[in-house]
Amino acid sequence: MSLPAPKTRHSKIVNVIVFSKLPKLLNLGELSMKPFGLSVTLLATMLVYPIITTNIQAAYQQETSTYPSITAEELLAKMNKNEKLVIIDVRSIGPYKSSTKRIKGDIRVEEPTELDDKLKTISKDQVIVTYCACPDEATSNYYVGILKERGFKNAFALKGGYYAWLRVDGPMDGK
């Protein structure tokens, strides 16, 4: 099983650790252009980089997988039963602008700072579903984490996001 490439911000962290901190930790001194020093540093980097990357990926997956999710089919069933739901569109600006539709009745939130204002009349027990258009529901999970921290007990990320909703032909509104 191969792991997906690390997320961008994690890659930057790993590169900083590997190329600036690791040589010092291994008592190799600064990266030098001397053939021996460079060879040892590169060898150490090649050996340690996969370990660090795998640990960061595992931490990221564990962090995002701790939030509850709901499938598009489950959400559609709830909507068909006319259950009271709050659906929040947290797609980044690019995917949002390039689409012509949104999930029926959703609330658009571009920044976490908008949540308090948009949800001030919503009960903490209300079912809230966030959706995005990114892999692994990264943005949706981020917002679910914020909602949980603010006391919303029933916050879920839509598994598969906007594209999963399109696949089940769920009800849509124009923008």
Specify the CATH number for 69-174; select among 3.40.250.10, 2.60.40.10, 3.40.50.150, 3.40.50.300. Answer: 3.40.250.10
Question: Mean pLDDT over residues 55-77, rounded?
Answer: 73
Tell me, yes or no, if the pTM score tops 0.85: no
Map out the domains of the chain as residue ranges.
Answer: 8-65, 69-174
The model's confidence at residue 129, banded by pLDDT at 50, 70 and 90, is very high
3-state secondary structure string, the chain? CCCCCCCHHHHHHHHHHHHHHHHHHCCCCCCCCCHHHHHHHHHHHHHHHHHHHHHHHHHHHHHHHCCCEECHHHHHHHHHCCCCEEEEECCCHHHHHHCCEEECCCEECCCHHHHHHHCCCCCCCCEEEEECCCHHHHHHHHHHHHHHHCCCCEEEEECCHHHHHHHCCCCEEEC
Query: What is the structure's pLDDT at 31?
Result: 47
Question: Mean pLDDT over residues 23-36, rounded?
Answer: 50
How confident is the model over 42-65, as pLDDT tens digits? Answer: 556 666 666 655 555 545 454 555
Query: What is the structure's pLDDT at 158?
Result: 97
